[in-house]
Amino acid sequence: MFDRVTGFFRQEIEAILIITVAVAICATAGRYWLVPHGGALRQASRTMKELREAVSADHGSYSGATERANAELTRRLAGLTSGTSQPDNLSALLQTLIARADASDIQFVKIEPEGEIKGDDFIKYPVLLEMSTTYHSLARFVSSLEAIPDQVSVDRVGMTARGAAVDAALRVTCYLQSK
pLDDT of residue 89: 79
Instruction: Judge contact between 141 and 106, C-beta under 8 A.
Output: yes
Please state, as a whole number, how many other Cβ atoms lie within 10 Å of the Cβ of residue 137.
20
CA distances (Å), 44 to each of 28, 34, 38, 58, 90, in order? Answer: 24, 15, 10, 21, 59
Which CATH architecture describes the domain 90-177? 2-Layer Sandwich (3.30)
pTM of the model: 0.52
Residue 10's pLDDT is 76
Q: Is 105 left (phi over 0), alpha (psi -120 to 50) or beta?
A: left
Q: Which residues of the chain have pLDDT under 70?
A: 33-41, 55-65, 76-88, 179
Sorted by where each begins, the domain ranges of the chain are 2-57, 90-177
Q: What is the pLDDT of residue 3?
A: 77
What is the rounded (10 degree) CA torsion for 69, 70, 73, 79?
-120
pLDDT reported for residue 64: 66
| pLDDT tens column, 11-37 | 888 888 888 888 888 778 777 766 666
d(CA 30, CA 174): 69
| CB distance 176 to 116 below 8 Å | no
